[in-house]
Structure 1
């Protein structure tokens, strides 16, 4: 069964797949593995809503630089991540496996003694190590959230270069977070909020930072490209912006551009997204000036859905960050690579961040470690010919809550969904992106076999290494949540 499950993954959960109205055209990708290995640049935003970029329909947020890349590349209209929260999603990207199989199904909590010595298992080989061993110069800039201690540091997980912060978030203005950090140290506090801690540069504290965080990360990315371009071998850069994750903090000049937005959260959020767009433009300029643009695969995405209570919108998708509904983990995504990825096209079949591991390894002509299990799959052959990479296969999403679990299953045009201890529902996602029309009574056999598939998949989950919040540890034990009691029963629910 494990052999079957490792090819299910991807986008977990339900999307407009096979019979999509937006049919994928055979010519849409025209991309074949080049003899010359490409640079690989992954730009990941944090909590960016599905419709908060121009290429996905944003009207009040301007993202001209990002949109230019998207319009000259291929937009993944059904792009997914492996979990609706930050840390597990990143674990999935780096390992090519569902975070549930790693015991990483919760965020690593900030400032918690229970996470001392914790992080994504060192037995797991990250994609950065695979590429590094294949001769790539590797860099990670920005948010890590995969283990804060030295053993789990990016420099020890395949990255030659790192500049950013190791926790799950950070404040944006250095004069503010530095002052707050120093004040708490002077007061003798042993545990200081992660968002205030000094930035990390290759394992050393960054002294006297001066730039707004998003700008600093962008400028470090430009420096990385400048330096990497002097080397003979290609590079891999994982640029993980903190924006537009809370706290909502934006520069005055960026806020001025969105003064017509009345809602304060939305206005600040928009300004934060705009700062990311500015940085992407600077990075593209650096690639062109260094003669690297034409041989760089750029992948853009968010780590999960937007947080609707903090300025984001995921319309027309239902709900947002933290949800197993589409809005929780179906994210803005595109691929761009001049001459290799088709320009001005949309790919409507599912693509998951779990796929990046084997796909990047293929493009880099790198060897995946023997015995390495993957839930993602190399999508390049299907993507290149406009085909559905997983017709008939089931893909999953799951979030543990306070004593129960929310689950989603996708198979072709069908999506099965169980949330808030309610009964299982069935939707035709091709025709119902908003998950409004329950078809479970019309197609009971379809629902039953999908729920059975999810139950079988759950047998391969690992015990959580940590909990967030910590109170869930006792609930987990008390409710015996590892057994998924009642979760996969069709006749139970409110």
Structure 2
């Protein structure tokens, strides 16, 4: 199969997108972590292209996912904020009614479409997954969810943030550890946020990472001969921190109790990736399926022990640790195997690359992404790509070629970095290269002029 658009004589390709939640850049074996085994994710990387410069359009969950599914910078429809708790029900929370997803184009072309796992893009009837292009939905609508029903939480180790405790102190009761180790208390994630099968609330479910995997596997098996697009949207490794007893035991070599639970959560995610890939192989679908794996943003270190090494910052930041994420593209016969791509690849590129592969009608594509299939993993990309960011409280950034400017917050200084020589963004070059800084700011301002003001949830 070539990367050329699909024709009527060819079998339409399938799409599987696997999203990890809050997974840091440096946490998998493919990125050099020897502490936590991730053999399935590492094998997926060997089967395709490991993207060392994979990016998302926000360092928060909901705006990042809005960008991925729309194929556009979410700021084009004013969606810069990240709703949590009751704010998920605000009319401005989630994808606007008039903003289509690229999956809707696939659905119209006859694809079977499924979203399994976390949504976080609106709770109004006209915003839920089945109104946005997905025939099938199993999961939850808010930003997070406990991994087992409760309390009490059975058959898991749990770690919860508790500001009532002295800073740095941990308190263990049975298999629940509480500690004052992050800025907020553990939110009531499950409040008004049931596990749903379609629109039906489900009370009897198992460890959520494994349950999401089971439903993803079932969606593949039930696809039959029809082309399918499957988004597997794990909430792992997002808080709350909960690992099964078995996975926790497997990570007994890790002494830190918080890190050990995190490791158990990550190996469950990795196990799910392996089961999905094995299912594609067993049903002879592997070579006709584009598989993309990425994290929706960088990891929150204090909350989860996340490593974004060697990058600066993490979730909520526009430094590289917030927006540069682990990413893999794999489709044997179409994409090179055991390859590495250093050129920037953006989450918006998934829509821009898959739609022309699957659908001949180019008019159905409105995206800020690029079709990367002609060059990904081939070492042939030579352009100075531009990636633009806008986030709340005046945070903004832009990468153009190897240069990047960051303004962490409104009224904070503009900083300039050369990512080729300074991946960790440790040397501010704004004073040494003022013309370069102004060039990048001008590009940012030009794109900003195309964007409406951010919506709010007040």
Q: TM-score band (shorter)?
A: 0.7 to 0.9
Go from structure 1 to structure 2 and tell me whether the alpha carbon gap of 1:117 and 1:406 turns closer, same or farther (over 3 Å shift): closer
SS in 2 for 1:335: strand
Go from structure 1 to structure 2 and tell me whether the alpha carbon gap of 1:177 and 1:221 turns closer, same or farther (over 3 Å shift): farther
Q: CA deviation at 1:148?
A: 1.1
SS in 1 for 2:416: strand
Q: CA deviation at 1:84?
A: 0.5
2-side partners of 1:433 and 1:385: how far apart? Answer: 22
Determine which of 407, 411, 430 is the counterpart of 1:418: 407
Q: Which runs of 5+ in 1 are unaligned?
A: 1-28, 180-191, 468-472, 474-494
Q: CA deviation at 1:259?
A: 1.6
Match of 1:430 in 2: 420
Q: CA deviation at 1:353?
A: 0.5
Go from structure 1 to structure 2 and tell me whether the alpha carbon gap of 1:394 and 1:203 turns closer, same or farther (over 3 Å shift): same
SS in 2 for 1:66: helix
Normalising by the residue count of structure 1, what TM-score does the alignment of the two structures yield?
Answer: 0.81
Answering whether residue 324 of structure 2 is matched by residue 324 of structure 1, we say no
Match of 2:387 in 1: 395
Task: Kindly report which structure 2 residues correspond to 1:359-378, keeping only aligned pairs within 5 A, or say none.
Answer: 359-367=353-361, 373-378=366-371
Match of 1:122 in 2: 97
SS in 1 for 2:397: strand
Answering whether residue 404 of structure 2 is matched by residue 409 of structure 1, we say no
Go from structure 1 to structure 2 and tell me whether the alpha carbon gap of 1:102 and 1:271 turns closer, same or farther (over 3 Å shift): same
Q: CA deviation at 1:369?
A: 5.0
- Structure with the higher helix share, 1 or 2: 1
Q: CA deviation at 1:177?
A: 7.9
Answering whether residue 164 of structure 2 is matched by residue 199 of structure 1, we say no
Q: CA deviation at 1:449?
A: 1.1
Match of 1:19 in 2: none
Task: Kindly report which structure 2 residues correspond to 1:103-118, keeping only aligned pairs within 5 A, or say none.
Answer: 103-112=78-87, 115-116=90-91, 118=93
Contact 2:88/2:142 (CA < 8 Å) preserved in 1? no
Q: Deviations over 1:347-375 (max 9, x none)?
A: 100000111112110111253556x6422
2-side partners of 1:245 and 1:368: how far apart? Answer: 36
How many residues get paired?
420
Measured on the aligned residues, the alpha-carbon RMSD in Å equals: 2.2
Match of 1:353 in 2: 347
Q: CA deviation at 1:117?
A: 7.2
Answering whether residue 433 of structure 2 is matched by residue 452 of structure 1, we say no
Go from structure 1 to structure 2 and tell me whether the alpha carbon gap of 1:110 and 1:466 turns closer, same or farther (over 3 Å shift): farther
Contact 2:88/2:122 (CA < 8 Å) preserved in 1? no
Contact 1:318/1:325 (CA < 8 Å) preserved in 2? yes
Q: Deviations over 1:158-183 (max 9, x none)?
A: 1111100011110101243899xxxx
Answering whether residue 312 of structure 2 is matched by residue 315 of structure 1, we say no
Contact 1:355/1:377 (CA < 8 Å) preserved in 2? yes
Q: Deviations over 1:372-395 (max 9, x none)?
A: 642212222232753327x23432
2-side partners of 1:246 and 1:327: how far apart? Answer: 18
Match of 1:483 in 2: none
SS in 1 for 2:325: coil
Q: CA deviation at 1:108?
A: 2.1
Task: Kindly report which structure 2 residues correspond to 1:1-16, keeping only aligned pairs within 5 A, or say none.
Answer: none
Match of 1:273 in 2: 266
2-side partners of 1:82 and 1:387: how far apart? Answer: 24
Contact 2:344/2:385 (CA < 8 Å) preserved in 1? no
Match of 2:213 in 1: 218
Determine which of 110, 115, 132 is the counterpart of 1:157: 132
Contact 2:290/2:330 (CA < 8 Å) preserved in 1? yes
Match of 1:340 in 2: 334
Q: CA deviation at 1:40?
A: 0.5
1-side partners of 2:257 and 2:437: how far apart? Answer: 43
Contact 2:194/2:202 (CA < 8 Å) preserved in 1? yes
Moved more, 114-123 or 256-265: 114-123
Q: Deviations over 1:456-491 (max 9, x none)?
A: 222222233334xxxxx5xxxxxxxxxxxxxxxxxx
Contact 1:92/1:98 (CA < 8 Å) preserved in 2? yes
Contact 2:62/2:82 (CA < 8 Å) preserved in 1? yes
Contact 1:415/1:427 (CA < 8 Å) preserved in 2? yes
Q: CA deviation at 1:73?
A: 1.0
Q: CA deviation at 1:234?
A: 1.0
Match of 1:208 in 2: 204
Contact 2:291/2:329 (CA < 8 Å) preserved in 1? yes
1-side partners of 2:45 and 2:323: how far apart? Answer: 20
Q: Which runs of 5+ in 2 are unaligned?
A: 155-186
Go from structure 1 to structure 2 and tell me whether the alpha carbon gap of 1:201 and 1:113 turns closer, same or farther (over 3 Å shift): closer
- Structure with the higher strand share, 1 or 2: 2
Q: CA deviation at 1:194?
A: 4.5
